[in-house]
Amino acid sequence: MGRSNRAGRARPADGPPADATTQDPGGRSHAQGPLVHPVDSGTAELRPDRDRPRGWELFLDGAPQSLVDLDDPAHLGFEYQRRIGHLVDLAAPPGRPIGVLHLGGGALTLARYVAATRPRSRQQVAEIDTALTELVRAQLPLERGWQIRVRGADARSVLERAPEGAADLVIVDVFSGARVPAHCATTEFAALAARALAPGGRLVANIADGSALAFARAQTATLLAVFPEVCLVADPAVLRGKRFGNLVLVAATTPIPIDELGRRVASDSALGRIEHGRGLVDFTAGASPLTDASAVPSPAPPPGVFR
């Protein structure tokens, strides 16, 4: 779940009937308009991107989820995905293959980015909505040769079975509706991710919050209880509680390249701020880590936030 870099683009579903899925895979033109289709988690809609001839934006129950450009899989149109893209870029020297475990798949935008920028990378994706995956594969097909394996299973169950020490990156972008589920927001979940990471690997998690940022503060405290190195990247307005939005958390057992990450975030068109060290501890404001016994889902987005 995220926000594109062009404000006000999200709108209620207004596309063709749900059975309008007979177009040639990957060959839909913008003249054909949006495509609306029921999936396991609700209603998915693919809307044409107004600036890219083969760009499509995925919405789930009206919430913007991701954007895919079939002509340019390295294009990341959402702020939070560009920030995660910076962590992909910093995971190893340019072009070197890496191992990535994606928890949450959606339109497979980030998996496409890894495959395009780091050929021969080994990627596994956990996406519980198998109907959504089928829709994405049919309408936004992956390129041949990409080593992307998608499993139709709950993210945490896949993480529990992940090989120990095999992933250079664990990317967590798990939403049930527009909320992060409680069982993917605990110290036990973070410990499983730490176990799956190779030496020097990093956990990167996308969450959403607003107002007092109680969930974001608790998530920060949760990761600090498991990892010695944690930082947070978000729009300054989100960090001030002025609007609901995405926050990207990064956790590792080795130092995070804060200076280089900061330079890349500063080069983005959207404003971004990094909290780390003392500033991040202050951000938690005494929040306690969440456990399987105490966790709650992230807050629901305010009404109209995607309009």
pLDDT on residue 59: 95
**CA nearest 244: which of 176, 182, 307, 166?**
307
pLDDT tens, 118-164?
Answer: 999 999 999 999 999 999 999 999 999 999 999 999 999 999 999 99
Split at pLDDT 50, 70, 90, the class of 217 is very high
Q: Whole-prediction pTM value? A: 0.91
Query: What is the C-alpha to C-alpha distance for residues 293 and 182, in angstroms, rounded to an integer?
Result: 10
pLDDT on residue 32: 66
Q: Above 90 in pLDDT, residue 294? A: yes
Q: Above 60 in pLDDT, residue 86? A: yes
- Whether domain 79-284 has CATH 3.40.50.150: yes
Q: In this structure, are strands 122-126 and 99-103 parallel, antiparallel, or unpaired? A: parallel
pLDDT on residue 27: 57
Q: Above 60 in pLDDT, residue 262? A: yes
**CA torsion through residues 181, 186, 192, 197, sign:** positive
pLDDT on residue 305: 79
Q: Above 60 in pLDDT, residue 277? A: yes
Q: Above 70 in pLDDT, residue 19? A: no
Give the CA-trace dihedral at 173, 176, 178, 179, to 10 degrees: -80
The residue with greater pLDDT, 241 or 6, is 241
Query: What is the C-alpha to C-alpha distance for residues 68 and 30, in angstroms, rounded to an integer?
Result: 14
Interior/surface letters 65-87, b for 16+ CB within 10 angstroms, e for the rest: bbbbbbeebebbbbbbbbbbbbb
Domain boundaries, the chain: 79-284
Q: Above 50 in pLDDT, residue 285? A: yes
**Percentage of the chain surpassing pLDDT 90?**
86
